[in-house]
Amino acid sequence: MLGIALVVLLVLLLLSVPIAATLVGLGLFLDQTFSFFPLYKAMGEVFWSASNSFLLIAVPLFVLLGEILVRAGIAGRTYAALDKWLSWMPGGLLHANIGTATLFSATSGSSVATAATVGSVAMPQAKALGYDDRLFAGSIAAGGTLGIMIPPSINLIVYGFLTETSIPRLFLAGLIPGLLLAALFMATAAAACTLRPELGGPRRPARWSERFRALPDLLPVLGLFAVIVGSIYAGWATPTEAAALGVVAALALSVANRSFNLRMLKEAVESAVKTTAMIMLIIISAYFLNFVLAGAGVTRQLAALIDGLGFGAYGMLACIILLYVILGFFIETLSLMVITIPIVAPVVIALGFDPIWFGVLLILMIEMALITPPVGLNLYVVQGVGGGISLNRVMTGALPFVAAMLVMALLLVLFPGIALYLPGAMAG
């Protein structure tokens, strides 16, 4: 049954059937073919149950928060401030690209929005200052991936919803790996520009007085992060309520930045509605497929199959990581999550791995899919705002950062405490 399901899934994807229709269609096929019970009769209740979750209200709110920040003009000031602090290192502005992406990741929850925001500000600087546009664009694409690792993260919310895992604990688990990955990206850029200085532009050290004068421009993003994440862990707000607080704070910042107007708000809301409709349709469809898979016994069959292979827990984990690397070449990231989580997560948990830890590892694999061709969304976003740079050059520039992600995956497997330390400390 599992083999037939995979064949049907691949055929529908190759035919470019929309992912939500693919998931529902596969669920109906499995139900009619293999289930002893008419599970399709519960479709209405399943769809309502999936869409009626208070937790999922956080998704449109975080999307709206990111849209407001993109249109409020805060990115340019943040980038200029980090330029003063980071451009003395080998690679110069490459570090400002990654640093700005890290800060915006702590507020937007979206990798694509982060890459678009930083790219629109940073890419004009590449040609003006003589940078190699490949590595410059690659640093922006890679930095943008941090948007789904560093909290708040829409993808972590989706994972938590589909696996019934604590969202606050997932947010805590993603913080240290996200910051460590940002440091690995910076180390990668510095190493590349040390070995080949022509890849980087000029180092532009600033006076300490200039650096300190730039600090106030970092406060809006840091303040938003404190409002959102601080309110969750202080026990003042749920993730959904914290998202609402973040939207209010972002609107206040846009007013203070003199960028608020009704047209800006209208564009932000319209874009957020379109994105949310797409995300919610996929989530609801995945929830139905999950329901059918459980009812038809597919997850039990897969667990029995894995036990029979004799690979052991870590051997099977290596196979799962390889599977995500391969699928990431061809399937869009959110779709990849909702297709695989109902099948993979129960197996990984049955092997004895912590679901919080696996959530972080999964997000890392999803991040990699964002910058691997031919479907890496961040590559297309950066190419779109890159002022004429070819897609091939963006792809080439992202390759060193893919290697950094593989190193990060190895570190997570060898040292699970990287992800589990903060959740454990807060629980204690």
Q: How far apart are CA 362 and CA 409, in angstroms?
A: 9
Verdict on whether the full-model pTM lies above 0.85: no
- Structure confidence at residue 296 (pLDDT): 66
Mean pLDDT computed over 26-30 = 74
Kindly report, residue by residue over 353-363, the tens digit of the pLDDT.
999 999 999 99
Highest mean pLDDT among 95-99, 367-371, 402-406: 402-406
Sequence-distant (6+) residues with CB within 8 A of 200 are 90, 91, 92, 94, 131, 132, 135, 189, 192, 193
| Tokens standing for residue 6 | 């995979």
User: What amino acid occupies position 325?
Assistant: V
Q: How far apart are CA 196 and CA 199, in angstroms?
A: 6
- Structure confidence at residue 23 (pLDDT): 73
Q: How far apart are CA 395 and CA 392, in angstroms?
A: 5
User: Residue 299 — very low, low, confident or very high, per pLDDT cuts 50/70/90?
Assistant: low
In this predicted structure, which of 10-14, 243-247, 377-381, 393-397 has the lowest mean pLDDT?
10-14
Highest mean pLDDT among 64-78, 388-402, 406-420: 406-420
Q: How far apart are CA 220 and CA 216, in angstroms?
A: 8
Q: Give the torsion sign (CA, 377, 409, 63, 259).
A: negative
User: Residue 19 — very low, low, confident or very high, per pLDDT cuts 50/70/90?
Assistant: low
For every residue of 357-419, DSSP letters joined together read HHHHHHHHHHHHHTTSTTT-HHHHHHHHHSSS--HHHHHHHHHHHHHHHHHHHHHHHH-THHH
Kindly report, residue by residue over 110-149, the tens digit of the pLDDT.
677 777 777 777 877 777 777 888 888 899 889 888 888 8
Mean pLDDT computed over 81-89 = 82
Give the mean pLDDT of the chain: 80
Q: How far apart are CA 377 and CA 285, in angstroms?
A: 22
Give the whole-number percent of the chain exceeding pLDDT 90.
13
- Structure confidence at residue 417 (pLDDT): 94
Highest mean pLDDT among 102-111, 325-334, 392-401: 392-401
If one counts every other C-beta atom within 10 angstroms of the C-beta of residue 396, the result is 14
User: Residue 386 — very low, low, confident or very high, per pLDDT cuts 50/70/90?
Assistant: low
Where is 306: in which H helix or E strand?
helix 298-309
Q: How far apart are CA 276 and CA 51, in angstroms?
A: 12
Kindly report, residue by residue over 243-291, the tens digit of the pLDDT.
888 889 889 888 888 888 888 889 888 887 877 777 777 777 777 776 7
- Structure confidence at residue 183 (pLDDT): 94
| Tokens standing for residue 321 | 């990581």
User: Residue 177 — very low, low, confident or very high, per pLDDT cuts 50/70/90?
Assistant: very high
Asked if residue 154 lies in contact with residue 108, where contact means CB atoms within 8 angstroms, the answer is: no
pLDDT at 182 over 90: yes
| Tokens standing for residue 329 | 């070449």
pLDDT at 40 over 80: no
Asked if residue 94 lies in contact with residue 401, where contact means CB atoms within 8 angstroms, the answer is: no
